């Protein structure tokens, strides 16, 4: 399946813009085998807008870690109202979560990188694995401009970590383009972006940044930069983490 589908998508998506990319993917794949991963970032909001315009029943999932900001949940509600769909909300497995919490307490992530990664695995990676097992491709909001580790990302690539195709329709968009598209189309977005949070994840692991700081400076700020990943995206063998603006 890998080579057939990957080759077909690479050929079909060559030279396509964001909308053309989503259109072509929907032509090639049954809509129920395509999922959009939304962290409610501005990029994911753009993709939600595009996908909802092109298909009446898109599969859009989000990982409810149980520790998100109230503003993020409010953005979920506003987005569903605006576009008339229901997110596939993925929650951690109750038993696995209880075992972790009883062993390590609710704020384990501040104590060590290992415990923080355990929390990310239980609350994010394991639910992500469950949903990606039901799809042949996932749409993501990665942009090359976001970080050095994303510069080699392609419009379509094989995601070896999760065993399916990964499609990045906004791969060559700039931050200014995303903002302009959001404003022009009046797309709902997380109000925390206007309060100094360029990248928004779980509340205990995200803080506002200062002008001039990197976009991800407010994520897991107590760790060394090389550890600040949660395992959602892998580029060239390196995990590059998620982005929840």
Residues that bind ligand SF4 (CB under 6 A): 65, 67, 109, 116, 119-120, 123-124, 201-202, 204-205, 230
185: left (phi over 0), alpha (psi -120 to 50) or beta: alpha
DSSP string of 123-151, one letter each residue: IIIHHHHHHHTT-SEEE----GGG-GGGT
Provide φ and ψ at 165, rounded to 5°. -80, 145
52, 119, 140, 230: the catalytic one is 230
Q: Work out how close the CB of 240 gets to ligand SF4 at its nearest, in angstroms, rounded to a whole number.
A: 15
Q: Work out how close the CB of 6 gets to ligand SF4 at its nearest, in angstroms, rounded to a whole number.
A: 30
3-state secondary structure of 181: helix
- Is 230 an active-site residue? yes
Angle CA 32–183–221, to nearest 5: 80
- From the list 140, 174, 146, the residue with the least C-alpha distance to 159 is 140
Q: Work out how close the CB of 29 gets to ligand SF4 at its nearest, in angstroms, rounded to a whole number.
A: 30
* Other CB atoms within 10 Å distance of the CB of residue 66: 11
Q: Work out how close the CB of 63 gets to ligand SF4 at its nearest, in angstroms, rounded to a whole number.
A: 9
CA distance 112 to 226: 14
- From the list 65, 107, 104, 59, the residue with the least C-alpha distance to 86 is 59
Catalytic residues: 230
């Amino acid at each position: 399946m890998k080579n057939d589908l990957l080759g077909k998508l690479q050929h079909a998506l060559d030279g396509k813009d964001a909308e053309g990319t989503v259109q072509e993917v929907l032509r090639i794949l049954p809509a129920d085998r395509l999922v959009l991963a939304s962290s409610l970032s501005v990029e994911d909001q753009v993709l939600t807008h595009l996908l909802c315009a092109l298909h009446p029943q898109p599969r859009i999932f989000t990982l409810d870690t149980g520790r998100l900001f109230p503003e993020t949940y409010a953005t979920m509600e506003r987005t569903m109202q605006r576009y008339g769909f229901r997110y596939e909300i993925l929650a951690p497995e109750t038993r696995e979560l209880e075992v972790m919490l009883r062993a390590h307490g609710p704020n384990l992530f501040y104590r060590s990188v290992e415990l923080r990664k355990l929390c990310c695995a239980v609350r994010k990676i394991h639910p992500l694995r469950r949903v990606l097992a039901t799809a042949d491709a996932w749409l993501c909001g990665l942009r090359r401009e976001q970080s050095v580790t994303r510069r080699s990302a392609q419009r379509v690539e094989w995601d070896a970590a999760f065993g399916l195709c990964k499609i990045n329709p906004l791969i060559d968009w700039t931050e200014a383009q995303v903002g302009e598209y959001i404003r022009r189309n009046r797309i709902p977005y997380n109000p925390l972006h206007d309060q100094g949070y360029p990248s928004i994840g779980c509340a205990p692991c995200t803080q506002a940044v200062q002008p001039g700081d990197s976009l991800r400076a407010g994520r897991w700020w107590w760790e060394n930069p090389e550890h600040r990943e949660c395992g959602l995206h892998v580029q060239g063998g390196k995990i590059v983490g998620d982005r929840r603006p």
